[in-house]
Copies of this chain bind each other. A is one copy, B any other.
Amino acid sequence: TAVIAEIGMTKKQPDVLTPELLESIDRYWRAANYLSVGQIYLCDNPLLRRPLALTDVKHMLLGHWGTTPGQNFIYAHLNRVIKQYDLDMIYVSGPGHGGPAVVANTYLEGTYSEIYPDISQDDAGLQKLFLQFSFPGGIPSHASPECPGSIHEGGELGYSLSHSFGAVFDNPELIVACVVGDGEAETGPLATAWHSNKFLNPVTDGAVLPILHLNGYKIANPTVLARITHEELEQLLRGYGWTPIFVEGHEPALMHEAMATALDTAVQQIQQIQQNARVMNDDDAGGFARPRWPMIVLKSPKGWTGPKFVDGFQIEGTFRAHQVPISDPAAQPGHLELLNDWLRSYRPQELFDERGRLLPELAKLAPEGERRMGANPHANGGLLLRDLHMPDFREYACDVPTPGASGIGDTHVLGPFLRDIAKINQEQRNFRVFGPDETISNGLVALFETTDRQWDAATEPNDEHLAPTGRVMEMLSEHQCEGWLEGYLLTGRHGLFNCYEAFIHIIDSMFNQHAKWLKVTSHLPWRRKIASLNYLLASHVWRQDHNGFTHQDPGFIDHVVNKKAEIVRVYLPPDANCLLSVMDHCLRSRHYVNVVIAGKHPAPQWLDMDAAAQHCAAGIGIWEWASNDGDQAPDVVMACCGDVPTLETLAAVSILRENFPELKIRVVNVVDLMRLQPQTEHPHGMNGQDFDELFTTNKPVIFAFHAYPWLIHRLTYRRTNHENIHVRGYKEEGSITTPFDMTVLNEMDRFHLVMDTIDRLPQTGDKGLALKRRLKEKLIEHKIYIDKNGQDLPEIRDWQWRGKT
C-alpha cells in the first residue's frame, strides 16, 4: 500500500487560474461548440471560408444541440484538471445524444484522427467530420461505440452512474467524470445509482465524479430536479451521501472561473479522501467514516450560446433548444442568416489555422497521449483485459458413480468453483460477482468462505460477510447489478450476475443495449474484445413453487435470442457437472452474452465429469445409457433441455420402458440451446444432416423444455422433422404448490410426457390406452395427496433412475 500512498502524493498543486488560462479555455470551448454546430448543420464549407450558402447545409438536420454546449464546457474543463493533476480520467456522457460534443472533443484532442485517419486535422477532415454525423454510412448521433473514449452510448437514458461505478471498481487510480442529465436523473435506475457510493472502497477503488447537468429540461418538459428549490436539491444530494458543489450561471467568463474552481475543489477532495483512506488506514478503510465524495451541479442554460430567439420563440434556456434549434434554413426566411450568425459567433477564424487545424496554443490545452479521455485505455477495456486464472473445473466435480446419483443442488456445486476463481484472482482484482441480495439464496454461499460483500456503509454486530473490500456486490437493484457489471466488463474485467430467473426481465432493456454495443464493437477493428456478460439464472421457474406465480417467468431467453446470433449464447446444463463445464467455458469466452440457467435444489445427477465435459462440448447429444434404440432407428425421441425437464423425461422413459420394453426410445439432451437452430442462423447451429440424425426425419419427438415451449418451435421450424416435434414447457400456469405439481400444472410432468408419447405411437395399442387411464388416475391421486399433505407423493419424491437393468 505504500505505492498507493505515493500515488496519492504525486498530485501537483493547482496553478493559479489566470485570466489567460480561462480565456483560452473559453476559446477551446468555442471551438468544440463550433464543431458541434458544424456537425449538425454543415456538409460543406466547414470553416466558413466563403459565405454560408444553402448548399453548405445538410438536407436532413438531425442531432441534439441542447445538451451539447454544456458537455463541451465540462469536457474542456476536465481537460484542464487532467493536465493539472495528471489524472487518469474517462468521460461518461449520460445524455449520450450529445454525440456532437464527444465527437468534437475527441477530434480536437487528436484521438479521433488517430483512429480514423481519414478524418484528418484540416479542412478536408473537418468537412468529412461534419458530413458523417447522423448521415447514412456515417456515425450515430450518440456517444456510440464508434466514438473513441466512450463506454456508454447513452441512447437509452439512466445507466451512466452505474456504468461509471462499474468502471472504477478495482481501478484505484481512475476517476470517471460522469455527466448526468437532469432528465436522465428522473429514471429509476439513475435515481438509485446515486447510492453506489455506499459500495465503493476509497482504498482499492477509484472515484466517480458525477456532474449533474442541470440544464432545466428534457425533450418538451422541464425536469423535476430543476423545479424543486435549491434547498431541496441540496438536501437530496446530501441525503444520497454526496457533497454537492454548485456552479450556476450563464455568463461564460464567470462560469469558467466557477467551474474551474469547482473542479479544483472536487479533485482535491477526491484526492484527500483517497489519501486519508490509503495512507492512514492501510488496506482497509472500514474504521473510517464513509467518505462524502464531492459532486458538481452545473446549472446552465439548455442550448447555451445557441440562438436566443427563432421565429419569435425563445430557444436558449428553454426546452426548445433540445434538438435542432434552427430547423429549416432551406424553407424558412431568415433561418440561413440566423445559422450563419450562430456559427460565426464562435469566430472560427480565431480558433483554426489556415489549414483548418486547431491553433497550437489551444491544442496544447488537451492532455497528451493516453491521458486524453478519448485515448484512455480504460475506455477500450479489451486493451487492458487479462485472462482470469482458472482452476480446473474438473476438480469441483460431484461424484456420479451412476446416473441418478443424488445431488446437493447444482449451484451449490458451482459455488466452490466460483469461490476459488475469486480467490486466485484476488491479486489481479479483476473478477466480481453481482446480485440483488440473492447470492446465498442462489446457492453460492461458498463465495463467502474466501471473500465478502463490498460494503462501505455502517456495520452492526450481527452482520455477516460485509467488508470494505470484497468480490461480491449486492444491492437490491437488478439495474445496479447489471449496470455495475457492464461498466466493470467494458473496462476490461470479468464477472457474473446471479439473479432469480423471473426478475432478470427487469434488465431486459439494459441487456438489449449491451448486446447492441457488443455487436457494433465487434465490427470496429480498433475496439478490443471484452469479457462476456454472464448471467446465472438460478431460482428458476420450476422451483418457485414457494414464491408462486409472480416469480415464474422463463422468458428472458426468448428475449435474448432476438439479438444477433454472433453475440448470444444460452446454456441449460442438466446437472452440476455440466454446470461446471459450461461456466468454465463462459468465463473464458469473449464478447458474448451467456445465459446459464441452473437449479439450486437437491436433484439427481446424470453425468460424471468426463461425460459432462464431453456432453457440454457437443452441446447436444444422445444419452445412450438412458436410451435403448442401440444401433437401430428409434420409435420415439425423448428430448429434454433444462434440469427439471431432464428429470421428468427420464422418469417418463422409465415408465415407458417398463410398460413397453419393446419400444425403442432415444433420449436426447440439449445443453447449448442454439445447437437447435440451423447453422445458417447461429454459429452454434447444427447442420441439417446432424440434426436429422439425432432427431430422425419422421419419428415423434417428445420435447420437454425448461422455458416457453414455442421457443423450441421457433428454433426448429426449418428442420425436416419439425412437424413431429411436440414440445412441453412452461405455459403460465403455476402458483404456490409442490415442485412436481408445477410440472403437472404445465403438463410437462412424466405422466403427461408418457401420455403424449402414447398418443403418437399407435403401436402401443390397447395397452397404451390402459396405461393412459392409469396415469390419469395417478394425476388425480397426486392432486388429492398434495392438497392433503402439502408435499409430493412419496413415489415422486423418492423416485430414482434405475438404469437399464
Q: How far is the CB of A501 from chain B (nearest CB, A)?
A: 11
Q: Which of A127-156 contact B (CB under 8 A)?
A: 134-142, 144, 153, 155-156
B contact residues around A478 at 8 Å (CB): 187
Q: Are A457 and B220 in contact (CB under 8 A)?
A: no
Q: A186: CB under 8 A from chain B? A: yes
Q: Max chain B CB contacts within 10 Å: which of A43, A188, A240, A462?
A: A188
Q: How far is the CB of A191 from chain B (nearest CB, A)?
A: 4
CA distance A375 to B682 in the complex (A): 55
CA distance A460 to B519 in the complex (A): 44
Q: A6: CB under 8 A from chain B? A: no
CA distance A273 to B414 in the complex (A): 56
**What number of copies of this chain does the assembly contain?**
2
11 A-B residue pairings within 8 Å (CB atoms): A62-B736, A198-B228, A220-B437, A224-B457, A228-B458, A235-B239, A239-B239, A314-B462, A319-B464, A520-B549, A710-B717
B contact residues around A437 at 8 Å (CB): 183, 218-221
Q: A684: CB under 8 A from chain B? A: no
Q: Are B232 and A512 in contact (CB under 8 A)?
A: no
Q: Are A547 and B155 in contact (CB under 8 A)?
A: yes
Q: A787: CB under 8 A from chain B? A: yes
Convert A210-231 into 0s and 1s, putting 1 for each residue whose CB lies closer than 8 angstroms to a CB of B. 0000000011111110011000
Convert A539-575 into 0s and 1s, putting 1 for each residue whose CB lies closer than 8 angstroms to a CB of B. 0000000111111010100110011100000000000
Q: Main secondary structure on chain A at its contact with chain B? A: loop
CA distance A458 to B474 in the complex (A): 37
Q: A156-B502, A221-B453, A550-B513 are in contact. Are A239 and B236 (CB under 8 A)?
A: yes
Q: A218-B437, A224-B198 are in contact. Are A516 and B135 (CB under 8 A)?
A: no
Q: Are A144 and B548 in contact (CB under 8 A)?
A: yes
Q: Are B477 and A549 in contact (CB under 8 A)?
A: no
Q: A466-B222, A508-B509 are in contact. Are A188 and B186 (CB under 8 A)?
A: no
10 pairs of A and B residues whose beta carbons are closest in the complex? A236-B239, A155-B550, A188-B188, A235-B239, A191-B192, A505-B509, A140-B548, A227-B457, A191-B191, A186-B476
Select from chain B the residue with minimum beta-carbon distance to A440: B220
Q: Are B438 and A477 in contact (CB under 8 A)?
A: no
Convert A316-332 into 0s and 1s, putting 1 for each residue whose CB lies closer than 8 angstroms to a CB of B. 01111000000000000
Q: Are A732 and B189 in contact (CB under 8 A)?
A: no
20 further interface pairs, Cβ-Cβ under 8 Å (given A222-B460, A317-B462): A136-B736, A141-B547, A153-B550, A184-B476, A186-B476, A187-B479, A191-B191, A198-B224, A221-B476, A222-B463, A224-B475, A232-B241, A236-B239, A505-B512, A505-B559, A506-B508, A508-B509, A562-B732, A713-B717, A714-B714
Q: A195: CB under 8 A from chain B? A: yes
B contact residues around A463 at 8 Å (CB): 222
Q: Are A186 and B156 in contact (CB under 8 A)?
A: no
Q: A722: CB under 8 A from chain B? A: yes
Q: A622: CB under 8 A from chain B? A: no
Q: A281: CB under 8 A from chain B? A: no
Q: A663: CB under 8 A from chain B? A: no
Q: Are B562 and A558 in contact (CB under 8 A)?
A: yes
Q: How far is the CB of A315 from chain B (nearest CB, A)?
A: 9
Q: A72: CB under 8 A from chain B? A: no
Q: Are B232 and A476 in contact (CB under 8 A)?
A: no
Q: How far is the CB of A220 from chain B (nearest CB, A)?
A: 5
Q: Are B736 and A138 in contact (CB under 8 A)?
A: yes
Q: How far is the CB of A754 from chain B (nearest CB, A)?
A: 22
Q: Are A503 and B509 in contact (CB under 8 A)?
A: yes
B contact residues around A790 at 8 Å (CB): 43, 58-60, 135-136
Q: Which of A489-519 contact B (CB under 8 A)?
A: 502-503, 505-506, 508-509, 512-513, 516, 519
Q: A58-B790, A437-B221, A558-B559 are in contact. Are A134 and B477 (CB under 8 A)?
A: no
Q: A115: CB under 8 A from chain B? A: no
Q: A386: CB under 8 A from chain B? A: no
Select from chain B the residue with minimum beta-carbon distance to A733: B564
CA distance A783 to B137 in the complex (A): 9
Q: Are A136 and B221 in contact (CB under 8 A)?
A: no
Q: Are B736 and A141 in contact (CB under 8 A)?
A: yes
Q: A60-B791, A136-B738, A457-B228 are in contact. Are A188 and B479 (CB under 8 A)?
A: yes
Q: A446: CB under 8 A from chain B? A: no
Q: Max chain B CB contacts within 10 Å: which of A221, A520, A708?
A: A221
B contact residues around A687 at 8 Å (CB): none
Complex partner residue of A789 from B59, B218, B458, B548, CB under 8 angstroms: B59
Q: How far is the CB of A437 from chain B (nearest CB, A)?
A: 5
CA distance A301 to B478 in the complex (A): 26
B contact residues around A462 at 8 Å (CB): 314, 317-320
Select from chain B the residue with minimum beta-carbon distance to A725: B717
Q: A340: CB under 8 A from chain B? A: no
Q: Are B141 and A548 in contact (CB under 8 A)?
A: yes
B contact residues around A190 at 8 Å (CB): 188, 192
Select from chain B the residue with minimum beta-carbon distance to A458: B227
Q: Are A736 and B474 in contact (CB under 8 A)?
A: no
Q: A737: CB under 8 A from chain B? A: yes
Q: A237-B239, A463-B222, A548-B141 are in contact. Are A186 and B195 (CB under 8 A)?
A: yes
